[in-house]
Structure 1
Amino acid sequence: MTSREEALRALESRDWTGAVVDDAKRSTSIVYSVRVDQELSEWIAAESDRRGVSPSLVIRDALVEAKTAEAGDETVTLKLSDLHRAVNRLVQPIGYRTA
């Protein structure tokens, strides 16, 4: 008798009369396939090694962090001149800052 035949015979002999349906709510997991460059791939691998988790968990954690940051983001209104001053401070060499 083959393994397949044994498996089918085992399934036929089961008594399911006392079975209980587990209707606990489970979240659905969806798989996405993405392409990343070598540098990002190496970072994901190193981070998963450092944390002792799978690369999938590293990617999922990064997505959760990005979603959380976006949820806390808010729109602000400011004068264009204030925006220019702030950007100019960021791009000026450190020795030339005046404020």
Structure 2
Amino acid sequence: MSANSDIQAALDNHDWSDAEVASERPRAKIVHSVRLPAEWSEALEAEADRRGTTPSRLMQDFILTGLQQSSAAPEGTVVTTRAALHRALDAALSNAA
């Protein structure tokens, strides 16, 4: 039997007596678009190349890590980078002088 005739035979079969109900739906993939400055995009692509992955997969990993960190943090906790913290402290000290 050819693939086409197998497909047609399956479509023509109306006997559902041995059918099984799928208990889980396949997980849908949803696209979220983000615009990055050119230098961020270049850095993302370079890091993905360095790790042997794709920019899309690397962004997925970064997002998952960020979500896990924020969900594990106590209520009212702010998660930031060390560089952003230093900038904020520098600005606060400059304004206090």
TM-score (norm 1): 0.53
Equivalent runs, 1:1-99 vs 2, <5 Å: 11-14=7-10, 16=13, 22-71=22-71, 72-75=73-76, 87=89
Letter in 2 for 1:51: R
Q: CA, structure 1 residues 51+21, in 2 after alignment: closer, same or farther (shift >3 Å)?
A: farther
User: Distance between the aligned counterparts of 1:43 and 1:91, measured in 2?
Assistant: 31
CA offset digits 1:31-74 (Å, max 9, x no partner): 11211111110111111111111211111111112212222154
Tell me the number of residue pairs that the alignment of Structure 1 and Structure 2 aligns: 78
| Cα distance change of structure 1 residues 10 and 75 upon mapping to structure 2, 3 Å threshold | closer
Name the SS of the counterpart of 1:35 in structure 2.
Answer: coil
Q: Which runs of 5+ in 1 are unaligned?
A: 1-5, 77-86, 93-99
Aligned partner of residue 10 in structure 2, secondary structure: coil
Change (3 A) 1:19 1:74: closer
Q: Secondary structure at the match of 1:13?
A: helix
Q: Structure 1 residues 91, 65: closer, same or farther in 2, change over 3 A?
A: farther
Match of 1:82 in 2: none
The 3 A distance-change label for structure 1 pair 73 and 30 is same
